[in-house]
A and B are shown apart, each in its own frame.
Chain A
Amino acid sequence: MDEYLLLMRLDILTKEAQPSPEQLEVYMKQYYDWVGGIAAQNKFVGGKGLSTEGKVLKYNNVMTDGPYAEIKESLAGFIIIKARDFDEAVSFARECPILEGEGNTVEVRKVVTEHHNC
């Protein structure tokens, strides 16, 4: 069983794109149903949501206000899950409710330990 990082990107900055409090409550429920379903299979390792602030540090001592996004979607949160293989990890990611929104993405990355990297 390997660990996979699921990076969730969505537009968290554009004012008009932000949900109403009622809509947000629905979204949160959907999110927790999804992540709770993964946890019920004992395949949730950890995860965090991110605030909308951020700083991006670049070469030559350049720092800009973030979060970093070349597109309008920025990193909104991440979870780490356990999965047999990439296919299973992708099948979890496919059910992520943020994918109901156009432009939103979930990136699936396999976690490798330092040990494996050597």
Chain B
Amino acid sequence: MNEGPLIPHLFRTEYRKIVAVLCKRFGFEQIATAEDIASDTFLTAAQTWGLKGIPPNPVAWLYNVAKNKAKNHLQRDQVFANSVAPVLKDQASATDEIDLSPQNINDSQLQMMFAVCHPAIPVEAQIGLSLRILCGFGIDEIANAFLTGKDTINKRLFRAKEKLREAKVHIGWPAPAEMEERLSAVLATIYLLFNEGYYSISQDKTLRRELCFEAMRLCTMLVENEPTNQPAANALLALMCFHASRFDARVNAQGELVLYEAQDTSLWNTDLISKGGYFLHRASSGRQLSRYHLEAGIAYWNTQPADTKEKWEHILQLYNQLLLVAYSPIAALNRTYALSKARGKQVALAAAEKLDLADHHFYHLLLGELYTGIDQANALQHFRRALSLAKTDADRHAIRQRMNGPGATPEV
């Protein structure tokens, strides 16, 4: 094996672990140092491995180098602290072993998740920091995912770290009384991270897939850890598994979105579907019914290709309940679509007319569909309105597909 593809791979999987452990050890205010030491470790690896070849156990090698660099840093720091501030409280621990055991790596990463998904910083910054610190993404990859420049991302991450420092965010487990609320913030960020990948208009399919799988990986860590193995975390993981099962089917070779009903169901990933079922089952312990439970329920029914009334009745009832806990225009529109499949177009049209969503291209797309076969001229008018309101080529493409074909669920 040559070191070319190995180092980027190890960077993706090990950088975040080293940063989490060091940051936990140094305190969050030293995150820049932790990142520097981790980056420096990979630089040393690239130089040394290039000359001497890859060591027998590259990961252990990386941990050793990181440990030594961290110890040097702490010693230098201690000398500085001793001469400048002789009353340093924490001197004794400065030369303690850096603990890179699997258990501590895992705990540090989970605790880092809570630190990064802290309400002190905006959600966008939480996602950016998660990608950088928890997923080991490069700045250019994050910029690509957000469709923005590297400078913007660098500034955003810098400000976010400043804010977390100012808020004296501590890397540790939230108090039991706070757990539910803090976990719910972590889950919200993970879900947004997933959606960033699933619905992103970025053309980079590999990157989008990685965003989705990173979100699932983070959520998996939560459900494998006792205090965070809550029903809502399992429900979110189930939801993401169900969605991700259509990853290969929903985009064609040209990178265009394929509508749900036009998808080749043989491309649906059955492993992910059954994995989703497993976590949905685990989510149903306890009395908690989060929005993720409801969305996972809907996503489950969407993995059933048969277009039955039963399926749509279930989907309708789940949307009814979802809207009670979390309104969104998309949920309102999807509920109306489910209503048309379960109760007929006339009932759905009456409900659609009451929605105050005429600015939304999906609203007109829905009305176009509902009027198809009832009032063709009206249907066409709504499709045209949808086209003029659509903001992306992908959306316009989907609308044109729908104008020409039979009714299909918006994959939203």
Is the CB–CB distance between A39 and B354 below 8 Å?
no
Q: Scoring B residues 319 to 352 as 1 if CB is less than 8 Å from chain A, else 0, what string do you get?
A: 1110110010001100110010000000000010
Is the CB–CB distance between B320 and A32 below 8 Å?
yes
DSSP class of B's interface residues: helix, strand, loop or mixed? helix
Task: Pick the residue among B320, B339, B354 that contacts A41 (CB under 8 A).
Answer: B354
Quick check: is A109 within 8 A (CB to CB) of the other chain? no
Query: Which partner residue on chain A sits nearest B356 by CB separation?
Result: A41
Is the CB–CB distance between A32 and B321 below 8 Å?
yes
Is the CB–CB distance between A39 and B324 below 8 Å?
yes
Quick check: is A44 within 8 A (CB to CB) of the other chain? yes
| Nearest CB of chain B from residue A66's CB, rounded to whole Å | 25
Quick check: is A117 within 8 A (CB to CB) of the other chain? no
Quick check: is B81 within 8 A (CB to CB) of the other chain? no
Please, which residues of chain B bring their CB within 8 A of the CB of A41? 332, 354-356
| Nearest CB of chain B from residue A31's CB, rounded to whole Å | 9
Size bin of chain B's contact surface? 10 to 19
Quick check: is A35 within 8 A (CB to CB) of the other chain? yes
Quick check: is A33 within 8 A (CB to CB) of the other chain? yes
Is the CB–CB distance between A40 and B317 below 8 Å?
no
Q: Scoring B residues 283 to 324 as 1 if CB is less than 8 Å from chain A, else 0, what string do you get?
A: 000000000000000000000000000000100110111011
Given A32-B317, A33-B320, A36-B319, A42:B335 Cβ within 8 A: no
Total count of chain A residues near the partner, CB < 8 A: 12
Is the CB–CB distance between B332 and A40 below 8 Å?
yes
Query: Which partner residue on chain A sits nearest B352 by CB separation?
Result: A40
Is the CB–CB distance between B354 and A37 below 8 Å?
yes
The answer for the CA separation of A36 and B335 in the assembled complex, in Å, is: 8
A-B contact count (CB 8 A): 43
Q: Scoring A residues 13 to 51 as 1 if CB is less than 8 Å from chain B, else 0, what string do you get?
A: 000000000000000010011011101111010010000
Please, which residues of chain A bring their CB within 8 A of the CB of B317? 29, 32
DSSP class of A's interface residues: helix, strand, loop or mixed? helix
Please, which residues of chain A bring their CB within 8 A of the CB of B351? 37, 40
The answer for the CA separation of A40 and B328 in the assembled complex, in Å, is: 8
Please, which residues of chain A bring their CB within 8 A of the CB of B313? 29
The answer for the CA separation of A39 and B332 in the assembled complex, in Å, is: 8
Is the CB–CB distance between A44 and B323 below 8 Å?
yes
Which residues of chain B from 380 to 403 have a CB within 8 Å of any chain A CB? Answer: none
The answer for the CA separation of A69 and B209 in the assembled complex, in Å, is: 59
| Nearest CB of chain A from residue B103's CB, rounded to whole Å | 43
The answer for the CA separation of A28 and B351 in the assembled complex, in Å, is: 19
- Other than the given A36-B324, A39-B320, A40-B354, 14 more pairs (CB < 8 A) read A29-B317, A32-B320, A32-B321, A36-B316, A36-B321, A36-B335, A37-B351, A39-B323, A39-B327, A40-B332, A42-B332, A44-B323, A44-B327, A47-B324
The 6 closest A-B pairs by CB, nearest first: A36-B320, A39-B323, A40-B332, A32-B320, A42-B327, A39-B324
A to B CB contacts below 8 Å, 16 in the list: A36-B316, A36-B320, A36-B321, A36-B323, A36-B335, A39-B320, A39-B324, A39-B332, A40-B323, A40-B331, A40-B332, A40-B335, A40-B351, A41-B356, A42-B356, A44-B327
